[in-house]
Structure 1
Amino acid sequence: MKFGINLFPTTGPAEKSAARHFEESLRLVELAEELGFHHVKTVEHYFTPYGGYSPDPVVFLAAAAARTSRIRLVTGAVIPAFTHPVQLAGRLAMLDNISRGRLSVGFGRGFLPDEFAAFQVPMDESRDRFTEGVEACRRLWSEEDVVWEGRFHRFGPVTLLPRPFQRPHPPILVATALSPESCEAAGAAGHGLMMVPSINRTEQVRAMLARYRAAWDDAGHDPGDRDVHLSYNCYLAEDGDVALERGRVYSEHTNRALAAAVEPWTRTRSDAYRGYERVVERVRGSDFGKQVRDGKALVGTPHEVLDRVHAIRGWFGDVTISLQVISGNMPFEESQRSMRLFAEHVLPAFDQESAAVTAG
């Protein structure tokens, strides 16, 4: 298993300035590399405290690349529906070169109505725009004299500069929330997968991953290239009661930010997002204690969190876990402490298992 940090901002100007958020987050990136974490990930969102401090993950990850030398950089995710593929592929190829091949590109459809309205993109087109954007980027990275005749974009022949540092292109991951069909399509295409297990029952996540892995194997892709990223809210403290108390505060803060961002779904309908009209009710009904008990949030003492990670591995296999260490406007010092405790008590257990497997 591999472990990294997810820097998904859930704060705004009323609580923390953007300059302070970026500086603290970049310090956490440096700490993550120092402690031996595998990756740092951030998101693309707009306007609201739910992710709005990260309208362009490429800019942040370029700054992270300048401060580090080993840790992988993951977009989690960029949204092709909002950017021309030539521009998106070019920016990402720049980042791949700046980081000397440390980039993994996560793509997402987007799901917030106000964002689609601002870009004047119909939500019903989101899936087709996503599929077209991912494939256009892949071809621009891996081919020359590309001619593209799509539904939404037409261009070429063009040869993208710069060429990606990684050949034929950086690893591609796709984000999925509720759709088993999206998991199956990602597996067939040979793309990695990004999921947030807290929004589904464990049995549903297992079924979705089974379809993904079966489609991957049926397509004949190398099993060693398969990568599944799962994101979890994370808060560790030496005292379990303190961890639960503070973790609850930050979880509820994040839920309020998310509830405000998804509120337009109370008056929005789209055939491309069936069932999303119930998302506001689901967010408001979130039960922090149950999420912790069900292993959907990594909150507790280092020993308790280690036990939960072992449970996650039993359910889902060897996956890549992204720890959301700034959820709910968490103070920098507390994010730093959670990362240090995780690195001291959890990472070594899996490093030792990996070493034992290699030796065997």
Structure 2
Amino acid sequence: MHRAGRAIVGGRFWAMSASPLRRAFSCRLLVQSIMDHMNFGITLSNRAVPLGLCSVRDLLALADGVEACPALDSVWCGDALFVNRRLDALTLLAAVAGRTERVLLGPACMGSFALRNPLVFAYEWASLDVLSNGRTRLVACAGGGSSALWQAEGEALGIAAGERRRRMIENIHVLRHLWTKDNEPFVGRFTSFSNVTLEPKPVQSPCPIWLATNAQRLATAQVDSGGSEFALTRVGRIADGWMTHSVGPHGFKRSWEFILRVGRESGRDMSSFDNVLYHHINVNADKQDALADSKRFLDLYYSADYTQARLESWLTYGSPRECVEQIKGYKASGCRRITFRISTMGDQMAQFRRVIEDVLPYVD
């Protein structure tokens, strides 16, 4: 339901214009000082539109708010093809690129990466990097899972479940080949070509490709695992950065140190190697209310029935002070950035303001 530039979501209003947000954030410039130590982003809920939880205007208004807020430096969104209903990640990121100038843009993560034609995707992503003037962060992952929906998604595209990881790795090589070479042949297990030159090439050279680990089927993932050593070794050897989720500070620290060690042993300079935690947040003085609210949202969003332990593995919640302390735990573990999905059935924009005004300025 729309009314005079606003949309009713969860029984409350979301403001559509970014200009009031800019005025509200202008007094919060002090948070810029913490960005040298830990960066923060917002994950847009692109499933929320087909689920009827928000409108397209709501989603883009939140992106405008991120652009206007000095405490935030990135916008992310999830990705899959047919497993669940959502707006296409590439299309949404392109829409955000056209209305922003500062924030980084990336998928969290590109779950369909192994399923997409790598030549077409290389062209699409290079175009996005040009449109955003070099602000992309591609996060590749194999995707997949044990459910019938995941199996059907791959089968519909002629890709066996056991091929996804091998295709992901080869697709990374295809992208880097096309982005750095002209008219040179490529011979792979799944993709081969000759006499191909891609233009335009990305603005960034090299254009970063990160890897996501710990991306098991969300409803059943092992808590605090941090990812298998095999997957983490792959990150340290071939990726430009790392994304993970559903892991506590201890597991994050263990995995991060492992990745850095693998990279250095492989002869790589890891001094600028980046990471991001894909996470959720609900700020509420009543901690149990925050947890219950997030459970309602996440159960609906992911068509799941999460246990408390599972929720706590990827959710920062409670009073502002409690949220700050939880984030500090990740910061101490080596986490360099967190992207938050606002996980409430209530007023999303009010929750957004609480995050940027009552929490992030105090993570120092």
Which TM class, normalised by the smaller chain length?
Answer: 0.7 to 0.9
Match for 1:287: what amino acid? T
Tell me the alpha carbon deviations over residues 37-64 of structure 1, each in whole angstroms, 9 at most, x when there is no partner. 111111221335x4x213x311111100
Q: Does 1:4 align with 2:41?
A: yes
Q: Mark the CA change 1:33 to 1:93 in structure 2 (over 3 Å): closer, same or farther.
A: same
2:314 to 296, 302, 305: 296
2:109 to 77, 83, 101: 77
| Contact residue 234 and residue 297 of structure 1 kept, 8 A | yes
Decide which moves more: 207-216 or 242-251. Answer: 242-251
The offset of 1:80, in angstroms, is 2.9
- Structure 1 unaligned regions, length at least 5: 260-283, 354-360
Q: Which residue of 1 aligns with 2:56?
A: 22
Q: Which residue of 1 aligns with 2:11?
A: none
Correspondence 1:187-336 to 2 at 5 A: 187-198=236-247, 203-255=250-302, 257=303, 259=304, 284=305, 286-288=306-308, 290=309, 296-314=314-332, 316-325=333-342, 327=343, 330-331=345-346, 334-336=347-349
Q: Which residue of 2 aligns with 1:356?
A: none
Decide which moves more: 126-135 or 143-152. Answer: 143-152
- Structure 2 unaligned regions, length at least 5: 1-37, 145-149, 215-226
Q: Which residue of 2 aligns with 1:176?
A: 213
Size of the alignment, in residue pairs?
A: 308
The offset of 1:335, in angstroms, is 2.2
For 2:298 and 2:89, the matched residues in 1 are separated by 23
1:98 to 131, 154, 158: 131
Q: Mark the CA change 1:190 to 1:221 in structure 2 (over 3 Å): closer, same or farther.
A: farther
* Identity level (%): 25
For 1:76 and 1:243, the matched residues in 2 are separated by 23
Q: Which residue of 1 aligns with 2:19?
A: none
Q: Mark the CA change 1:84 to 1:91 in structure 2 (over 3 Å): closer, same or farther.
A: same
| Contact residue 64 and residue 99 of structure 2 kept, 8 A | yes
- TM-score where L is the length of structure 1: 0.78
Match for 1:100: what amino acid? N
For 1:149 and 1:82, the matched residues in 2 are separated by 18
Q: Does 1:61 align with 2:93?
A: yes
Q: Which residue of 1 aligns with 2:9?
A: none
Q: Which residue of 2 aligns with 1:153?
A: 191
SS of residue in 2 equivalent to 1:70 = coil
Match for 1:179: what amino acid? S
CA RMSD of superposed structures (Å): 2.3
Q: Does 1:125 align with 2:191?
A: no
Match for 1:39: what amino acid? S
For 1:308 and 1:223, the matched residues in 2 are separated by 26
Q: Mark the CA change 1:108 to 1:220 in structure 2 (over 3 Å): closer, same or farther.
A: same
- TM-score where L is the length of structure 2: 0.78
Indicate the structure with greater helix content.
1
